[in-house]
Amino acid sequence: EVQVVESGGGLVQPGGSLRLSCAASGFTFSNYWMGWVRQAPGKGLEWVADIKHDGSEKTYLDSVEGRFSISRDNAKSSLYLQMNSLRAEDTAVYYCARDYGRSYDPWGQGTRVIVSS
Amino acid sequence: EIVLTQSPATLSLSPGERATLSCRASQSVNSYLAWYQQKPGQAPRLLIYGASNRATGIPARFSGSGSGTDFTLTISSLEPEDFALYYCQQRNNWPITFGQGTRLDIK
């Protein structure tokens, strides 16, 4: 079964850091672009970052550029999102997803990040 | 940034009826348009990619059409499990953007 599973969310104070992880299985991870998408409480979907299959290209939402860093370990079939200088507006469920035909499939169940003092 | 505008915001229909959801892009996205379904407390699920290709396991009552700036998701005959939120997404240009969603409610 093709699946991705996120972990690492939690409660963090403004200005703090958090590292999200995503474990992939059921497909050849090193062949695919991967991405992170978030959803603030009661809001729609917002793309955060993407990384090329070999890690050579990374793109970010403007509002997270310089604060967030996407990376991957193909040997471990894992995707990461290092989030620094967190703000209240970063509070959201963060989803990991595989790039599939310029869409996302599958999505993980999400990991919740709450930025609050 | 490409803005995707979905309409209507809410669509109220009965099981068995036909649903037509629209997604309009502020500039051409060619055919790099996807549709997702999201139910409360769940992750989004890919329905359609490349504007008109059904994802694996998606019932044939779901179909997508369009290219350029105007796209449509059609559900030919609504089943009870189809009442949910629907999002479109473009992958033609960075940043990747999503529409604001259409809520499909039971009438």
Q: Which amino acid is at B91?
A: R
The answer to whether B61 and B47 have CB atoms below 8 angstroms apart is: no
The answer to whether A48 and A38 have CB atoms below 8 angstroms apart is: yes
pLDDT, tens only, A10-41: 999 999 999 999 999 999 999 999 999 999 99
Q: Which amino acid is at A87?
A: R
Contact residues, chain B to chain A, C-beta under 8 Å? 32, 34, 36, 38, 42-46, 49-50, 53, 55, 87, 89, 91-92, 94-101
Using a CB-CB cut-off of 8 Å, the residues of chain B touching A94 are none
Cβ separation A104–B98 shorter than 8 A: no
Residue B42 pLDDT class (50, 70, 90 cuts): very high
pLDDT of A101 reads 83
pLDDT of A105 reads 97
pLDDT of B97 reads 98
% residues pLDDT > 90 (chain B): 100
Residue among B18, B96, B16, B24 nearest B66 (CA): B24
A31 Cα distance to chain centroid: 18
The answer to whether A112 and B98 have CB atoms below 8 angstroms apart is: no
pLDDT of B96 reads 97
